[in-house]
Every structure is written in structure tokens, then in C-alpha cells.
Chains A and B, each alone.
Chain A
Amino acid sequence: MEQIRIKKLTDRMNQFRETLLDTRQNVCSERALWTTKAYKEHEMDQIVLKRAYMLKEVLAHMSIYIEDETLLVGNQASSNRAAPIFPEYAMDWVIRELDDFDKRNGDRFYITEETKENLREIYPYWKGRTLQDKAYAAYPESAKLIYDLGIIRNEGNITSGDAHLAVDYEGLLKYGLNHYRHRTEEKLSSLDLTVFDDMKRSYFYQAILIVLDSVEQFAGRYAQLAEEKAASATPARAAELKEIARICRKVPMEPAASFQEALQSLWFVHLILQIESNGHSLSFGRFDQYCLPYYEMSRQDGMTCEAAEELLVNLWLKTMTINKVRSSGHSKFAAGSPMYQNVTIGGQTTDKKDAVNELSWLVLETVAATHLPQPNLSVRYFSRMSQPFMDACITVIKQGFGMPAFNNDEIIIPALMAQGVHEEDAYNYSAIGCVEVGVPGKWGYRCTGMSYLNFPKTLMTALNDGVDLNTGEKICTGTGHFLQMESFEDVLHAWDQAARQLIKQGVILDNCADMVVEQEVPDILCSTLVADCIQRGKHLKEGGAVYDMISQLQVGVANLGDSLAALKKNVYENQVISRKDLWDALVSDFQTPDGARIQKLLLDAPKYGNDDDYVDELVVKGYDTYLDEIKKYKNTRYKRGVIGGQYFPGTSSVAANIAQGASTPATPDGRRSGEPLAEGCSPQHAVDVNGPTSVFKSVSKLKTKEIAGGVLLNQKVSPSMLVEKEDCLKLSALLRTFFDVLKGYHVQYNVVSKETMLDAQVHPEKHKDLIVRVAGYSTFFNLLSTATQNDIIERTEQNF
């Protein structure tokens, strides 16, 4: 193919899309009720069996329906975009916020009185039994203090499941679940129950068999429903429903033999994984690679290109039906209720050839035509990517819904190999969630998504001799107070010492959360579909995956460097601000008599994002502490069979930069108290005034190859700047330079004008499908809180 063709949706898919856009987000209590019943009945069972019985109960009884427009079936909750409640993870916040769901500023959910009543009724059972209750109780005292003060956050890790992975969809389609069933039966029958480890394995294998039966029955329920509906449908629809019924009796248990069978099989499993656990960033992996054989098969059998497109659109619309409700506090970190269901296309095959195929083009075209925040589309860039495909990506970027994002093979493959990933697996990586990467079907949970560390707040604590400025609590051993720091080296030393202690506390929180997740909420289906869980007889949290490396998130990397530069320049080199005046200005949020002068001097200091070595080197230096310290730590799967078992650094921050900024005092970069922090490795908003080449140069000075977990960069471009073909070619050259020469990791674009966003704040009804890129994912502008909306509006617009 040479040129992208973004077609209109078919009438019925358009109808499906419109209905979804008009659907209010509800809260659904069905899963919570069935889960409670199963847990009560299986109190005595081993946890893996209890989890299997839970899934069985839910799949057997939850409401199912088939939308009039759809060719692919399977629903997550009692209505589309309704968010189920997962009581085994956390219930306190659910009950506490029941009456506030529909009053939130952002991420609003509607809930009926009946649902509230249902949830209140089961609450007493869950008191003290949830993941959150048990993990919090297990937190060691020092780490608990840090958690309570909000210095390090990992609420998401103890209030929901893990996910953040792509399971082996290739194997699923090729072999069907029956293959996994037979393998499990074989393994089970060969166990020697006098051996302790075999005894443990036996429960896991039994759990898999229960779950696979439940999945088969669940698909059967849809087959039956489709047949029932066919009886009263128009002849054309009846034929479709009968075909749906046939397919549901076949997949996901049997191998797929057509495009529709493949997509249905995929959807069933993808869906059930999101009923089994409420972890998000459950990704599709390299969709264009493993689905290609089924696409080609059907095309040869006479499927038209239009029919293939409709099926794809149908699948993308289905991803939009999945939802998740988070606590109001956690919503601020993941604004716009994102599910981060990533689809990766392009890149290279394991034999290093261009992997772009006919299906890659169709995915790009149909995601563009569907134009919704889900799925989250990533394109693997590599230096030999064809210009027509690059142009096609830019055409889609121009549409302004933040997709596709680019991940760069040229840095990611060597970075993964440096972490111990085998070459053929490294060439097969896919994006997970937003910017991070893993090997589909072989990698455990959370290649990203562990705890968040707030860098600027850590710096302020370091300058305050280890005492948190907001609460007066001593949270780490200090090296003295800023007022006594005679040289800039003292400042760097203080940062280094404080940061190392807090990084260590973050690891303690992570490991403690992981320990309790392993004990309380193992995922059976998810483990079934990741190599080598069946082989080892271990679920993912026990070390079942081939690879298991995790990364954390940091907030305000740029603010740290900018702060160090402003201190160095003004206090130690030019000596235009005394330490006392600066400190007084910071703690009073620049309200001292000469606070305005001081703030201006700080703001005028060199800022990261402008290709200025003075400050960029300090960003690198500040980050070196993190790189050096995090290397030392292992996760709970270390030496339990996995390759890795360690941390690797990454710089995502999702929307945490706003929430964490709100509790961060004024900082030496001139940022006022409460203002948002910088996200990922992006510069602080509105300080990168030298254009995109300078931003790329600054970002490229980070030790990207060591930051294998992801280096997130957001850029905003005014749509008027991408009108001319010539401008698009220049964007293409810009990106290729960033990736080929500077070895950048990732970049994503927001191409929505400031005017449009300002108008959407005043007239949300006119912009119900306005989509913006937040930080590694896209979401509806209308779902965001005013603070997040403003944050996006304020990002520096790069002009072309």
C-alpha cells in the first residue's frame, strides 16, 4: 500500500459508536455480588482454587447481552462502559465514596440506589479481607509513614490487580484453550503429591482446569443467546447471529480458522482477563503480526476488505465498552478512566525484516476511522520503516486524538537485550499500556506501574534535613539544612542521600504489595496464557513468567534538574540570592517582600528542554542517583525461575504530575506551590521555548539505554502547523532524526488547538468526542477534571 485511506464507518458501526459516546458511565455491582458469594462458599479452599471458583461463579451468572450492531460478542458488566466493582481488592473507598461518584469534577460515574445498597450489604464481609486491608497492615512502619504522607504512592498496586502485560494471544489463536487444558491435565497427572512443590502445583493446575471450563461455558452462554435472538431477528441478522453462535461454540477453546473467529477468540480472553482482575494496561501485543494468518485465510476465502475493516472497527468499539472505576484520589493519577489497552503494530520481525503488512495498514486506518481513546495504538518505529507508512502515521497523528505513539526499535531492542532479554524476544517486544514495553506472552506483570516517587518533593525534603515540609515529619536521615549548605556539591549530596533512602522505601512498599498480591489475588487465566507458568506450575506472582522485570514511575524529573540549575546559578555561582532569602521565599510560596524578584531569577535560569547543557547535565546527574540506586533491588520473583527479577528504570508518570504537584511546595525552579510538575521525561510546561529539535536534544541526553522501562515524551502541535504536505515531511524528518540519530525512546503528539480545548471547557456538549493525549494514553477531554484540562492546555505548543 502506498497511501492511507481513512474511510467512514459503516452505518451500524457508526450507530454503535454514537451509542457508546452517549453512554453514561455507570457502576455495576454484579461481579461484586457473585464474587462475594463464591468467596463465602470457598473460604476453606486454597487461594488459587478460591480465585478459580470466583471466576466460575461470575462467568456463569453475570448478565450477558449482544448489541444489535455487533459481530463480536462479550460484555464486561451489566451495560457497556459500566465499571464493575472488584471487592476483593478494596472496598473501603468504594463505600466511602458511594454518594460522591456522580458529583466528581472529573471521572464521574453514575450509580443507582439499588447498586449502592448491594454494595453496602456485602461490605461487612470484606472488612479486613481485602488486598488493601492486608497489604496496608503488612507495610513496615517506616514505609507506611512515607505512604501515608503521600511521598511515595502505590495505591493502585493494593487496590486493584496487576495486569500491565500482553498474554500469549498468538498461542491462543493458533492452539485454542483446549491445548492449554491438555497440557495442564498432563502436568497434573504427572505430579507426585508426596513432594511439597508438586502438592502446591496441584492446586494451581486444578484451578486452571476450573477456569478453562468456565470460559467454555461462558462462550456457550453467548452461543445460546445468539441462537435465541436469531429466532426473532431479520433474516440477514439471523444469519449473522447463527454464525456468531457457531463461532462461540468453537473459540476460544479451539484454534481459530478465520478472521472473525480469531477476533472473537481474542475478545473473549481479553474480556475475561478484565473480569478476572481489575488490573489495567492489558495489552494486545503485536496484533498485526499474530492476526495476519487469519486475515489472509479469510481473504482467500472471499472476505472483502470492507468486511475485514468492519470487524476491526467492531473490535475497537468493544475495547471502548470496558471500564474501571478508581477512587477519587487514584483517579487524579489516571485521569479520564483510561484502560490503556494497547495495540502495537509495525516494527521488525524476529528475522529483522520490515514487519509492516497489509493488516498493519488496516489497523492504522480503522483505529483512525473509529477515533476513540481505546485502543491505545503504538507504532514500532525502526530506521528502515517505509516512508509511505511513516506518512500514514503522521496523517493519523494529524487527526488529533493522540495516536499513534511511536516506540523506537533502535533503542528499545538493545536496551532490552542489555537487561538480559534474548534477541528473538527483544525483536518481538510490544508496547504495554502506554509507553512501556514487554515481550508478549512471556513477561510478568507491571513492566511499569509500580510506585510513584515525587522527585521535587524529595529534593525539598533533602534541603530541609530530611523533614517533610508539609507535615513536619522526619522521613529520612538528612545531611543538614539548606541554610548550612556552603557549596552546590552539598546540595547534590543532600539530594543523593535523601533520594536513595526514599527509593529504598519505595521498593519496600512495592515488595510488600507484591507479597500480598501473591497471597491474596493470583490470576489463574492470565497465568495460563503466559509462558512458562504451566510448565513450572507457578502462577505469575510466584515466578511463572519467562521474564519478570518491573519499573516504577517518577514525577517531576525536569523540575529536579531545573531546580538544581536555578540553585547552582543564582545561589552558588552568581550569588544573587542568599540561601536564607531563597528558603524564606520557597516556604512562603514567594510571598516574602522580594519573593517576586527571586521567583523571576529562578524562572530565568536555564531550563531543561532547550538543549542547554548547563541544566541538561544536572537532569542527568540527578537522575543518575535513581539509576544507580534502583539497580540494587530485586522484586519478589527474583531467583524463583524468572529471567530478571529486578527493577529497570522508566520515566512514565501518567497524570500523577498534577496530583503530586498539588501537594508539592514551591520549588527552586520557580514553580509555585501546588502547580503541576513535569510529566515523564518531558520538560516542565511552557519552558521549552526553543522548539522541538531542542526538546529532542535535551531528552536524548538522558541515559536512555539504561532507562529500558520507558522514556515518555509528550509534544503538543498546533493543527494549523500540519496543514501542508511539506510540513508533514518536516515532521517526519524531525522524528527520524530523533529516533535514528539521537536514539529517542518514544514520542506522542497532541494535535488539538488551544482554542478548541478552551471552547470545550465552555461548551462540553459540542465536543463530546474531543480526545486528548494525557500522558501515554488518550482520553475524552470531557472526562477530565478542570485541573487536568488546564494542564494540557498549558503545555507548550511546538510550532512548525
Chain B
Amino acid sequence: MNAFLFNIQKFSVHDGPGIRTSIFFKGCNLRCRWCANPESQCAEPQTFTNTKTGEVSPVGKAYSIADIMHEVLKDKAFYEHSGGGVTLTGGEVFLQLDFALELCAALQKEKIHIAIETAGAVPLPRFQSLVGQVDLIYMDLKHYNDQKHKDGTGISNDQILQNMAWAARHTNLIVRIPVIPGFNDRLEDAKAFGTLLAQMDVPQVQLLPFHQMGDQKYNYLGWDYAYANQKALTKEALEPFREIIANKGVNVKNGAN
């Protein structure tokens, strides 16, 4: 069995504790208009065309479990010394669930800490099957309002909220909210997020300020980018937003650490 990935990133330090390797699965069931990794969306191979040099490079590569473990194990000493491990992210890792399960088994055999990062838009039983195998789960919540969620990502938040409520009770869960200008960054939004998260009793929330690290990738794919001229947000600017959520009794912080 092979997985289709678009990156394996060593020394990944913002997706879980310690020093980690992040495995980026290619293919996603959401189409977030602000997506910072647009090459993660299609499950098929693509190419980047460097707009300056014209150089074309492939995006996406098939990996076997052995291929991935070979890369992952290279940094095992760093995981052990830092309390780190491996993070499965994407794209959407649930779209390659069987492979992900097999990979988790291989990682467990090596006693490596596993985190996953997911939007969680899959049926609950599928969700549970993988979540049960990992040590830490990051779930993204883009919007509390279903219609808005559909506008921003192309799908409903129904399933996501259902899974999140379950995960809050049964797993080591951290919810991440990407704060996107004009989409979910008003103080009223913070209030609604806060109410919802408090209701679900989510143990920990992180706010990720909108950034522009991905804009070049849209150029390289030849795609339009809805947020092309949007200024990045700073952590500091999010402080009032954070406070409102915190006032609802939610453990929330700015940034991914």
C-alpha cells in the first residue's frame, strides 16, 4: 500500500510537542478559500511552475510505509530527547485512512508519539478508528455557523462539530481556529466561538492568525487566490478576540505552541 504525500517535513515544531516530523497527506475534502497549502487539496499529482525561472517541479509523491518510516526514524533521537514525535497532517489524513492506520501501527511499534491534524469532516466511526490510535489530535474549526462554513470551505460543519464533541470527551484534543480577516475575525465571532467551545467542553484552543506564507504557491499552481492582497494578522492583534473566548471559560491561547 502506498500513500500520496506532498511533503515530509523534519524539525516541525508547531504541530505538537517537541521536535517532530510532519507527514503531509495530499488530497482534502475542504476547499478553504484562504488555504496556505493549496497544493494539498487535489489528491492527484500536480506541478509547480516557478513564475520567475519557468522551472517546473512535481508536487506529490507516492510513499510506502517503509519509505516513510525510513525518513521518520532518522530523527528518532531528536523525538526522544525533546518529547516530540510524528504528526500526520495534510490535506486530510482521513482520505487515506487505511494507510494512516497502518502507519500508526508502525509508529507505535517504534514507540513514537503520534499526533494528527484534521478538519475531521468524516463519518464518526471512521473518525474514531484513527483517533483511537494516536496520542494527540488537532482539529480545525473554521466557523461556528454552518452557512458561513459552507461559504468558506465548501462543506457543512455538522459532521465536524459532532466529531469534535466526541473527541472533546474521549481524546487528547486541541482545537485550532484559523482567524481569517472578514470571515471569522469579528468580536461577535469570538463570542459565538467561545460559547460553542465552552458547551463542548473543549480542553484547549489555539488561535492561528491568518498569514501569507502560501501566496507564492498559488502563483506556482497558476491559481487565483482570494486572499492575495490581504495583510497577515499578528498574534498581538488577536488578543481582544482571544480574551472574549477566554471569558467564556475556554482555555485558549494565541499561536500554535
Which A residues contact B (CB, under 8 angstroms)?
611, 690-694, 697, 724, 726-727, 730, 733-734, 736-737, 740-742, 798-800
- Apart from A733-B78, A737-B19, A737-B81, what 19 extra A-B contacts exist at CB < 8 Å? A611-B10, A690-B10, A690-B11, A691-B9, A692-B11, A693-B74, A693-B75, A694-B11, A697-B74, A727-B257, A733-B81, A733-B82, A733-B83, A733-B84, A734-B78, A737-B80, A737-B82, A740-B81, A800-B13
The distance from the CB of B67 to the nearest CB of chain A, in whole angstroms, is 13
User: How far is B74's CA from A741's CA once the two chains are assembled, in angstroms?
Assistant: 13
B152 interface hit (Cβ, 8 Å): no
Q: List 9 A-B pairs, minimum CB-CB distance, nearest first.
A: A733-B82, A691-B11, A726-B257, A737-B81, A741-B77, A691-B10, A693-B11, A693-B75, A737-B78
Q: Which residue on A lies nearest to B75, using beta carbons?
A: A693
A residues within 8 A CB of B9? 691
A730 contacts B74, CB within 8 Å?
no
Give B80-106 as 1s and 0s: 1 = Cβ < 8 Å from A's Cβ atoms: 111110000000000000000000000
A residues within 8 A CB of B203? none
The distance from the CB of A749 to the nearest CB of chain B, in whole angstroms, is 15
Q: Which residue on B lies nearest to A694, using beta carbons?
A: B10
> What are some 17 contacts across the A-B interface (CB < 8 A)?
A691-B9, A692-B11, A693-B11, A693-B75, A694-B11, A726-B257, A730-B19, A733-B83, A733-B84, A734-B11, A734-B19, A737-B19, A737-B78, A737-B80, A737-B82, A741-B81, A800-B13
A residues within 8 A CB of B78? 693, 733-734, 737
B209 interface hit (Cβ, 8 Å): no
User: How far is B85's CA from A305's CA once the two chains are assembled, in angstroms?
Assistant: 44
Q: Which residue on B lies nearest to A611, using beta carbons?
A: B74
Query: Which listed residue, A611, A697, A724, touches B255 by the CB 8 Å rule?
Result: A724
A residues within 8 A CB of B27? none
The distance from the CB of A458 to the nearest CB of chain B, in whole angstroms, is 31
Q: Which residue on A lies nearest to B81, using beta carbons?
A: A737
User: How far is B11's CA from A691's CA once the two chains are assembled, in angstroms?
Assistant: 6
B residues within 8 A CB of A692? 11
Which B residues contact A (CB, under 8 angstroms)?
9-11, 13, 18-19, 74-75, 77-78, 80-84, 255, 257
User: How far is B13's CA from A428's CA once the two chains are assembled, in angstroms?
Assistant: 36
B residues within 8 A CB of A690? 10-11
The distance from the CB of A392 to the nearest CB of chain B, in whole angstroms, is 19
User: How far is B78's CA from A451's CA once the two chains are assembled, in angstroms?
Assistant: 37
A residues within 8 A CB of B83? 733
Residue among A693, A697, A736, A742 with max Cβ neighbours from chain B (10 Å) = A693
Q: Which residue on A lies nearest to B57, using beta carbons?
A: A604
B82 contacts A730, CB within 8 Å?
yes
Q: Which residue on B lies nearest to A721, using beta carbons?
A: B13
B residues within 8 A CB of A724? 255, 257
Q: Which residue on A lies nearest to B255, using beta carbons?
A: A724
B residues within 8 A CB of A730? 13, 18-19, 82
A693 contacts B257, CB within 8 Å?
no
User: How far is B77's CA from A730's CA once the two chains are assembled, in angstroms?
Assistant: 13
User: How far is B8's CA from A691's CA once the two chains are assembled, in angstroms?
Assistant: 11
Query: Which listed residue, A733, A740, A741, A742, touches B19 by the CB 8 Å rule?
Result: A733
A residues within 8 A CB of B18? 730, 733
The distance from the CB of A601 to the nearest CB of chain B, in whole angstroms, is 13
B257 contacts A697, CB within 8 Å?
no
B residues within 8 A CB of A741? 77, 80-81
User: How far is B15's CA from A726's CA once the two chains are assembled, in angstroms?
Assistant: 12
User: How far is B21's CA from A694's CA once the two chains are assembled, in angstroms?
Assistant: 11
Q: Which residue on A lies nearest to B71, using beta carbons?
A: A611
User: How far is B72's CA from A697's CA once the two chains are assembled, in angstroms?
Assistant: 13
B residues within 8 A CB of A742? 77
Q: Which residue on B lies nearest to A741, using beta carbons?
A: B77
Q: Which residue on B lies nearest to A600, using beta carbons?
A: B55
The distance from the CB of A670 to the nearest CB of chain B, in whole angstroms, is 14
User: How far is B83's CA from A733's CA once the two chains are assembled, in angstroms?
Assistant: 9
User: How far is B9's CA from A693's CA once the two chains are assembled, in angstroms?
Assistant: 11
Residue among A694, A727, A737, A800 with max Cβ neighbours from chain B (10 Å) = A737
Q: Which residue on A lies nearest to B84, using beta carbons?
A: A733
B81 contacts A697, CB within 8 Å?
no
A residues within 8 A CB of B77? 737, 741-742
The distance from the CB of A375 to the nearest CB of chain B, in whole angstroms, is 31
Q: Which residue on B lies nearest to A742, using beta carbons?
A: B77
A727 contacts B13, CB within 8 Å?
yes
User: How far is B82's CA from A798's CA once the two chains are assembled, in angstroms?
Assistant: 18
A residues within 8 A CB of B74? 611, 693-694, 697
The distance from the CB of B37 to the nearest CB of chain A, in whole angstroms, is 16
User: How far is B77's CA from A740's CA once the two chains are assembled, in angstroms?
Assistant: 10
The distance from the CB of B196 to the nearest CB of chain A, in whole angstroms, is 27
The distance from the CB of A715 to the nearest CB of chain B, in whole angstroms, is 12
B residues within 8 A CB of A694? 10-11, 74-75
User: How far is B9's CA from A727's CA once the two chains are assembled, in angstroms?
Assistant: 17
B residues within 8 A CB of A736? 81
The distance from the CB of B89 to the nearest CB of chain A, in whole angstroms, is 16
B residues within 8 A CB of A740? 81
B residues within 8 A CB of A737? 19, 77-78, 80-82
User: How far is B74's CA from A592's CA once the two chains are assembled, in angstroms?
Assistant: 39
User: How far is B84's CA from A693's CA once the two chains are assembled, in angstroms?
Assistant: 13
A residues within 8 A CB of B255? 724
The distance from the CB of A704 to the nearest CB of chain B, in whole angstroms, is 15
User: How far is B18's CA from A694's CA once the two chains are assembled, in angstroms?
Assistant: 16
B residues within 8 A CB of A691? 9-11
A734 contacts B82, CB within 8 Å?
yes
User: How far is B80's CA from A740's CA once the two chains are assembled, in angstroms?
Assistant: 12
Q: Which residue on B lies nearest to A612, using beta carbons?
A: B74
Q: Which residue on B lies nearest to A700, using beta carbons?
A: B77
B residues within 8 A CB of A734? 11, 19, 78, 82
User: How far is B81's CA from A724's CA once the two chains are assembled, in angstroms?
Assistant: 19
The distance from the CB of B174 to the nearest CB of chain A, in whole angstroms, is 14
Residue among B74, B78, B80, B83 with max Cβ neighbours from chain A (10 Å) = B78
The distance from the CB of B71 to the nearest CB of chain A, in whole angstroms, is 9
The distance from the CB of B12 to the nearest CB of chain A, in whole angstroms, is 8
A residues within 8 A CB of B19? 693, 730, 733-734, 737
Given known A-B contacts A730-B13, A730-B18, A734-B19, A697 and B82 have beta carbons under 8 A apart: no
Q: Which residue on B lies nearest to A739, using beta carbons?
A: B81
The distance from the CB of B133 to the nearest CB of chain A, in whole angstroms, is 25
A residues within 8 A CB of B257? 724, 726-727
User: How far is B243's CA from A328's CA once the two chains are assembled, in angstroms?
Assistant: 60
User: How far is B19's CA from A690's CA once the two chains are assembled, in angstroms?
Assistant: 13
The distance from the CB of B115 to the nearest CB of chain A, in whole angstroms, is 15
